[in-house]
Every structure is written in structure tokens, then in C-alpha cells.
Amino acid sequence: MKQLWEKISKNRYYQMVFKNPFTYITGAVLLSIMQIALFAYSGNPWGVSGTFANWGAWLYQLFGGSVEKWFYFSSSGAQATLDAGILSHTGTMLNVGLIFGALLATLLASQFKFKKIKSLRQVVAAVLGGLLMGYGARLAGGCNIGALFSGVASLSLSGWVFAAFLLVGAFIGSKLLAKFFM
Amino acid sequence: MAEFELDCLGEACPVPLMKTEKKLASLAAGDVLVVHIDHSCAMKNVPEWARKQGYNVEVEEVDDGEWDVIIEK
């Protein structure tokens, strides 16, 4: 078994496909092809963060809450999605696939590792950053996938506006990072 | 010709790159810096940056998901 693994790990094609990171161009082409396939299949371009809002709503409903009166879920389309349930929600399948796909990729490259948490500061920054990104993505009507990648791919001007302010945010974020983490 | 180490285990991008840039600035020509990382995107952007600066770079996989980036200034 060990011998077989050593043989596989030296194989040129294994290294090309599973071990070494793809170039940016390869990644971009693959993303575009899958974006087209997804659009043809589901009728919607790819999005990630909108699904989290739905997960929150379903979780809230599970504990007996109701989101019918919330402005965010007030459209008939949003209500229909919530009523159809989590199992028939394409976005949920995509996000679950994303998580397991990433796990599979890191396992196949033999790079899986539990990382140690360095400091409390790191935890606070991660939680704060996550909350800000999630809240911001809902205010902006999408994240860097739904608003930027899918927006630009739909030839919508909003994607480019999003990109401009993403750069502003990244600039401020890097300054904060340098201030608190260096 | 001294050798220095930089522990970036558990740090996510772009912190390893920023720390490497800062540390290398304080080293003399000929010194060697070994950066320990366990974030796969740092395995790409740290060597890329260092090579652009004209330094000699080697990447060694020391364990599953763990690398040493060896940079000679």
C-alpha cells in the first residue's frame, strides 16, 4: 500500500491535477465553464452568501420563528424558496458541495491539516470579519461570487461597481491587518 | 550568512507574506530565511514575491499541509 502510494505521488498527472495548485488562467477557465453549466441547469448564476440568509431563516423557523413579515424575505419569490424547503434548494447543494469539494481536494493533495489557533486576537478577527462580510454581502445584494463574478458575467454594470468598492474595502482591510497583526 | 526562522504556522493569507516582507527587509544580503507555513496559498504567493525580488527560493514539503519556504537574500 505504501509502495503504491509512493508510486502514485510521483506520477506526473497526479501532481498536475491533484497536487500542484492550478494556474490562475486554468482556474478562471474552469470557473467560467462551471458557471455556464450551472446557469444552463438552474436558470440562475452562481451565488454563495444569499444561501446563508436562507439557512438562517430555516433555522429560525425550526425554533418556531416566522420571517414572513421581514422585509428581506417579503417577496413572493423569497417566500416560495423558503416554503420549498432546504432539500430542494440549489444554493444549499452548491454550498455543501463547495465544503466537501474543498475537503476532497485537500485530502487528494495529501495536504489536510488541523491548524492550531494562534491567539484570541485571531479568533476575534475571524468572527468579526465573518459577520461584517456576511452583513455587507446582504446589503450589497451579493458577495464576490454573486455580485462580482456572476454580475460581471451577466454583463451587468453592478458587478464593476462592486469591484471598485471591493478594492476600497480590501485596501482598508489590509491597513487594519497590518496594524493589528504585524 | 546567518540563518533566521519565521513561524507562520496557523496564519492565513496575506499575513505570512506581509511578515516575510518585513523580516527580509531587516536581513543582510546572503542571509537565509526559513518561513514555516501551513496555508497553501502562502506556498504560492510567498515564493512568487521572493523570486520577483530576485532571491533564491526553495519550497520543501515537510509534512501533510506544511511547508518550509527557504529564501536566500
Task: Say if the Cβ atoms of B10 and A110 lie within 8 Å.
Answer: no
Whether A1 has a pLDDT exceeding 90, the answer reads: no
Name the residues of B annotated as catalytic: 13
Nearest CA to A58 among A35, A41, A83?
A83
pLDDT in tens, B5-54: 999 999 988 899 999 999 999 999 999 999 999 998 898 899 999 999 99
pLDDT in tens, A109-157: 999 999 888 889 889 989 999 999 999 999 998 999 999 999 999 999 9
Residue-level pLDDT at A20: 87
Whether B1 has a pLDDT exceeding 80, the answer reads: no
Task: Say if the Cβ atoms of A118 and B10 lie within 8 Å.
Answer: yes
Predicted TM-score (pTM) of this structure: 0.84
- Grid coordinates standing for B52? 520577483
Give the strand pairing for B66-72 and B32-37: antiparallel
- A126: enclosing H helix or E strand: helix A120-140
Question: To probe the interface with A, which of B40, B45, B59, B61 has the most A CB atoms within 10 Å?
Answer: B40
Task: Say if the Cβ atoms of A115 and B38 lie within 8 Å.
Answer: yes
Residue-level pLDDT at A36: 96
Kindly give, in sequence order, each residue whose CB lies less than 8 Å from that of residue B34, ignoring residues fewer than 6 positions away: B3, B4, B5, B6, B68, B69, B70, B71
Q: How confident is the model at residue A182 (pLDDT cuts 50, 70, 90)?
A: confident
Task: Say if the Cβ atoms of A178 and B38 lie within 8 Å.
Answer: no
- Grid coordinates standing for B61? 514539503
Residues of A in contact with B43 (CB under 8 A): 21
Q: What is the ipTM of this complex?
A: 0.79
Residues of A in contact with B9 (CB under 8 A): 115-116, 118
Q: How confident is the model at residue A107 (pLDDT cuts 50, 70, 90)?
A: very high
pLDDT in tens, A10-40: 899 999 999 888 889 999 999 999 999 999 9
